[in-house]
């Protein structure tokens, strides 16, 4: 008898915004339509129905005993690190006999960076398509914000990867809650750095209270600074790239292939401006500042990178 593949459980943040909650539910339904061979269910940690526990119960009632849980989240903060694992272990007690693996958050992944770039193009319209035009554009990437420094650092990583190889004047970072700089401070910083044109880019999957707050704060700041051109970009949304990425995270979880930072490794992925590095053989090398000299009594040898994974 062929063992059926593990089901897919999507875990969301939750939002008080009904349109945002419905966007999540639509996304889960679309994943189910695309993958009829796979039982798919989704639920929220807080704020909106259905709760994650109901989604697990729905799968169990469909005969599921094994599933892979994927957090539909861009960064690994308190929800992904604590709340979802806690909720899943509660469900294991409630439903003896089930087993699950847990996937990793979505970003920063080249597929999502591609969507973010598309959102910037849309915000700029026909202006801003040429390299010369982009050199005048400063992007302010706005994340959710967290009390977890690692989660905030992930947003900075996404900003840096978005900047690399694309020709923008710069990509700055701000947060809409719990962390500094906030949106007005982020915009002030862009101007102090000489920004001529700014696009505020929300680092959010779907519409909701917080992305709306980003837009509102941007409009308020722009009204007080008529001398600066400021545009607002849209959220990522239920793009094909996002649907594919969730399945990639599902496959990783099922196979136990939870990789480190290989998503954004120039030796594996063709990142803009670094395409020639893909598949390049890795040689031991010295860091320029070391020059092979003795420092503090230690000799600095070159170190090999392995990208065979």
Same domain, 41 and 136: no
pLDDT at 188: 98
Q: Which of 182, 118, 217 is nearest to 172 (CA)?
A: 182
pLDDT-derived band of residue 286, with 50, 70 and 90 as boundaries? low
Q: Using alpha carbons only, give the angle 277, 283, 289 rounded to the nearest 5 degrees.
A: 95
Q: Which of 176, 173, 197, 169 is nearest to 186 (CA)?
A: 173
- Overall average pLDDT of the 74-83 stretch: 82
> Where is average pLDDT lowest: 128-137, 164-173, 249-258, 281-290?
281-290
pLDDT at 283: 61
Residue 196 has pLDDT above 60, yes or no: yes
Find the CATH number of the domain harbouring 177. Answer: 3.40.50.1400
Total domains in the chain come to 2
Same domain, 128 and 224: yes
pLDDT at 78: 75
- Overall average pLDDT of the 60-77 stretch: 93
Same domain, 167 and 19: no
- Residue 52 domain-assigned? yes
Q: Which of 170, 199, 206 is nearest to 183 (CA)?
A: 199
pLDDT at 292: 45
- Strand pairing class (197-202; 99-102): unpaired
- Overall average pLDDT of the 275-290 stretch: 66
Same domain, 68 and 214: no
Same domain, 149 and 49: no
Q: Is the model more confident about 55 or about 258?
A: 55
pLDDT-derived band of residue 284, with 50, 70 and 90 as boundaries? low
Tell me the residue range of the domain where 200 lies.
Answer: 110-232
pLDDT-derived band of residue 77, with 50, 70 and 90 as boundaries? confident
Rounded to the nearest 5 percent, the helix, strand and coil shares of the chain are 40, 15, 45
- Strand pairing class (229-232; 197-202): parallel
Query: Mean of the per-residue pLDDT values for the chain?
Result: 88
Give the length of the chain.
309
pLDDT-derived band of residue 274, with 50, 70 and 90 as boundaries? confident
The token pair that represents 112 in the structure block: 């999502």
Q: Which of 105, 108, 106 is nearest to 157 (CA)?
A: 108
Q: Using CA atoms, how far apart are residues 204 and 213, in angstroms rounded to an integer?
A: 12
Per-residue exposure over 272-306, b if at least 16 CB sit within 10 Å of its own CB, e if not: beeeeeeeeeeeeeeeeeeeeeeeeeeeeeeeeee
**Non-local CB neighbours of 281 within 8 Å, separated by 6+ positions:** none
pLDDT at 40: 97
Same domain, 57 and 24: yes
Residue 307 has pLDDT above 50, yes or no: no
pLDDT-derived band of residue 193, with 50, 70 and 90 as boundaries? very high
Q: Using CA atoms, how far apart are residues 115 and 103, in angstroms rounded to an integer?
A: 22
- Residue 296 domain-assigned? no
pLDDT-derived band of residue 83, with 50, 70 and 90 as boundaries? confident
- Residue 144 domain-assigned? yes
Coil, strand, or helix at residue 197?
strand
Residue 24 has pLDDT above 90, yes or no: yes
Residue 291 has pLDDT above 90, yes or no: no
pLDDT over 90, % of the chain? 68
Q: Using CA atoms, how far apart are residues 221 and 187, in angstroms rounded to an integer?
A: 8
- Residue 190 domain-assigned? yes
pLDDT-derived band of residue 102, with 50, 70 and 90 as boundaries? very high
Same domain, 116 and 70: no
Q: Is the model more confident about 77 or about 195?
A: 195
């Amino acid at each position: 008898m062929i063992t059926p593949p593990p089901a897919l459980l999507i875990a969301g943040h939750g939002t008080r915004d009904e349109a945002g909650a419905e966007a999540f539910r639509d996304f889960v339904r679309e994943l189910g339509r695309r993958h009829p061979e796979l039982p798919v269910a989704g639920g929220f940690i807080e704020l909106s129905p259905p709760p994650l526990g109901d989604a697990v119960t729905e799968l169990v009632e469909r005969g599921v005993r094994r599933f892979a849980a994927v957090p539909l989240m861009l960064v690994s903060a308190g929800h992904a690190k604590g709340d979802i694992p806690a909720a899943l272990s509660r469900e294991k007690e409630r439903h003896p006999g089930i087993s699950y693996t847990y996937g990793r958050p979505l970003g920063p992944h080249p597929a999502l960076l591609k969507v973010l770039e598309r959102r910037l193009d849309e915000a700029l319209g026909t202006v801003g398509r040429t390299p010369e035009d982009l050199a005048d554009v400063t992007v302010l990437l706005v994340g959710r914000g967290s009390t977890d420094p690692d989660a905030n650092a992930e947003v900075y990583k996404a900003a840096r990867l978005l900047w690399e190889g694309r020709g923008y004047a710069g990509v700055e970072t701000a947060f809409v809650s719990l962390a500094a700089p906030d949106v007005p401070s982020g915009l002030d910083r862009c101007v102090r750095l000489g920004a001529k044109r700014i696009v505020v880019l929300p680092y959010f999957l779907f519409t909701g209270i917080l992305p709306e707050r980003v837009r509102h704060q941007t409009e308020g700041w722009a009204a007080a600074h008529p001398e600066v051109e400021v545009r607002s970009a849209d959220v990522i949304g239920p793009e094909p790239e996002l649907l594919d990425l969730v399945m990639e995270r599902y496959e990783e979880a099922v196979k136990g292939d939870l990789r480190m930072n290989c998503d954004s490794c120039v030796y594996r992925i063709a990142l803009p401006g670094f395409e020639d590095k893909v598949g390049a053989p890795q040689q031991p090398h010295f860091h320029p500042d070391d020059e092979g000299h003795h420092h503090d009594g230690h000799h600095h040898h070159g170190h090999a990178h392995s990208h065979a994974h």
